[in-house]
Amino acid sequence: MNTLILKTTSRFLFTLLLLLSVFLLLRGHNEPGGGFIGALVAVGAYALFALAHGLTAARKLLPLPPLRLVGWGLLVALLSALVAFFLNKPLMTGVWFSLLGVKVGTPVIFDIGVYLTVFGALLSAIFGLEETADRTPEEAP
């Protein structure tokens, strides 16, 4: 699958898909989209990139190993739930505040946690399998 066309277009597609995934994530509260969908698009972007340029290159484009992202995602989601707890409201009550003129709320942060978790978990599965696929031919008896 090392065709030139795939290699050149994938770079472009990767950026585009990643942008799209963030866009879907952020607009999810008002239009179709959200953390789950955004994460799936991002996984697709990375899977495509890994297919074209190899795993090592794809891994370099990740800020953290995929499983760490799962941990961070769960932590972010949990922390967003705890905010209300510290304001003496029931757990997970939405808290909204304005940041630089943009309305930000704990549900949006929670959705980012969802995004990170789903992205990390699914990507770790795909990367893991691609890794073994890379190795299998060498050690085949």
Partner 1 sequence: MILAVTSAFLGALLAPLVYRWLGQLAGWGLALLPLGLTVYFASLLPTVVAGETVRHSAAWVPTLSVNFSFYLDGLSLLFALLITGIGTFIVIYTGGYLKGHPDLGRFYMTILLFMASMLGLVLADNIVTLFVMWELTSLTSYLLIGFNHTEFRSRRAATQALFVTAGGGLALLAGLVLLAGMGGSWEISELLAKGEVLRAHPWYLGALVLVLVGAFTKSAQFPFHFWLPNAMEAPTPVSAYLHSATMVKAGVYLLARLQPALGGTEVWSSTLMAFGLATLLTGATLTFRHTDLKRLLAYSTVAALGALVFAIGLVPLTSYYGAVGFATFLLAHSLYKGGLFMAAGAVDHEAGTRDINQLSGLFRVMPITGVAVGLSALSLAGLPPVLGFIGKEVLYLAALQAAPAWIIGLAVLGFAVGATLALILTVPFFRGQPPTGVHEGPPSLWLGPVVLAGLGLLVGLFPGLYNPLADAVASAVKGAPTSYHLKLWPGFNPALLLSLLTVAVGVGLYFVYPRLQAWMAQDPLPGPENAYVALLRGLLRLAARLEQTLQSGSLRAYLVWVFAGLSGLVGLALWRGGPFRWPGETSALSPAQLVLVALMLLGGLLVLRLRSHLAMVVVAGIVGAGVALLFLLQNAPDLSITQFLVETLTAILIALVLLQIRNIGEVPRGRWLDKLVALLFGGLVTVLMLGMLSEPIELHLTQFFAEKSLPEGFGRNIVNVILVDFRGLDTFGEITVVGLAGLGVYALLKRLRREEKP
Partner 2 sequence: METWMALLVGGLSAVGVYLMLRPHLIQFLIGFLVLGNAANLLIFTSGRLGSAFPPLVQPDGTVLAPYANPLPQALILTAIVIGFALAAFGIVLFFRAEQVLKTLNAEAMPERLEAAPAPSPVDEVREERA
Interacting residue ranges for partner 2, rule: CB under 8 A: 30-32, 34, 36, 40, 118, 121-122, 125-126, 128-129, 132
- C-alpha 128/C-alpha 110 separation (Å) is 27
Rank residues 18 and 126 by Cβ distance to partner 2 and give the closer one. Answer: 126
> Which residues have C-beta within 8 Å of that of residue 140, sequence separation ≥ 6?
none
Q: What is the footprint of partner 1 within residues 15-54 (CB under 8 A)? A: 24, 28-37, 40-41, 43-44, 47
Is 57 buried (19+), middle (13-18) or exposed (0-12) by CB count in 10 A? Answer: exposed
Q: How far apart are CA 17 and CA 120, in angstroms?
A: 16
Looking at 2-10, 54-62, 131-139, which segment touches partner 1 (CB under 8 A)? Answer: 131-139
Torsion angle, alpha carbons of 20, 25, 29, 35, to 10: 140
DSSP assignment letter at 24: H
In the complex, the smallest distance separating the C-beta of residue 77 from partner 1, rounded to whole angstroms, is 6
Residue 84's Cα: distance from chain center in Å? 25
Sign of the Cα torsion 131, 122, 49, 115 reads negative
Confirm or reject binding of residue 67 to partner 1 (CB under 8 A).
yes
Q: Which does 50 bind (CB under 5 to 8 A by kind): partner 1, partner 2, none?
A: none
Residues that bind partner 1 (CB under 8 A): 24, 28-37, 40-41, 43-44, 47, 66-67, 70-71, 73-74, 77-78, 81, 91-92, 94, 96, 103, 105, 107-108, 110-111, 113-114, 117-118, 120-122, 124-126, 128-133, 135-136, 139-140
